[in-house]
Amino acid sequence: MTPPLIAALFGSGVRPTQLVAATMAAGTVLAIGNLGLNQILVASARTHRITIAWWSAVLVATTWVLAAPGSALDRVSVAFVVGELAAMLALVLATMLGSVRTASGWRGIRLATAGFTAAGEADAQQPDWLER
Q: What are phi and psi of 94, to 5 degrees?
A: -65, -35
- The tens digit of pLDDT for each residue in 56-93 reads 999 999 999 999 999 999 999 999 999 999 999 999 99
Residues 79 and 30 grouped into a single domain: yes
Residue 100: strand, helix, or coil: strand
For residue 43, which of 103, 89, 111, 129 has the smallest C-alpha distance?
111
pLDDT tens, position by position, 51-61: 999 999 999 99
Number of structural domains, the chain? 2
Question: Rounded to 10 degrees, what is the CA torsion of 22, 25, 26, 29?
Answer: -170
Query: Would you say residue 3 has pLDDT above 80?
Result: no
112 band by pLDDT with thresholds 50, 70 and 90: very low
- DSSP three-state, residue 107: strand
Q: What is the CA radius of gyration of the chain?
A: 20
**pLDDT above 50 for 132:** no
pTM tops 0.85, yes or no = no
Residues 69 and 121 in one domain: no
As a whole number of angstroms, the distance between CA 114 and CA 109 comes to: 7
| Percent with pLDDT over 70 in the chain | 72
pLDDT (mean) for 39-56? 90
Strand partners, 106: 101
pLDDT score of 110: 47
Co-location of 8 and 20 in the same domain? yes
Helix axes 47-67, 72-96, angle to 10 degrees: 150
Do 86 and 61 belong together in one domain?
yes
- Closest listed residue to residue 60, CA positions, set 32, 39, 88: 88
pLDDT beyond 80 at 94: yes
- Does one domain contain both 66 and 111? no
Parent domain of 43: 4-97
Residues 68 and 107 both lie in one domain: no
Over residues 35-48, the mean pLDDT reads: 89
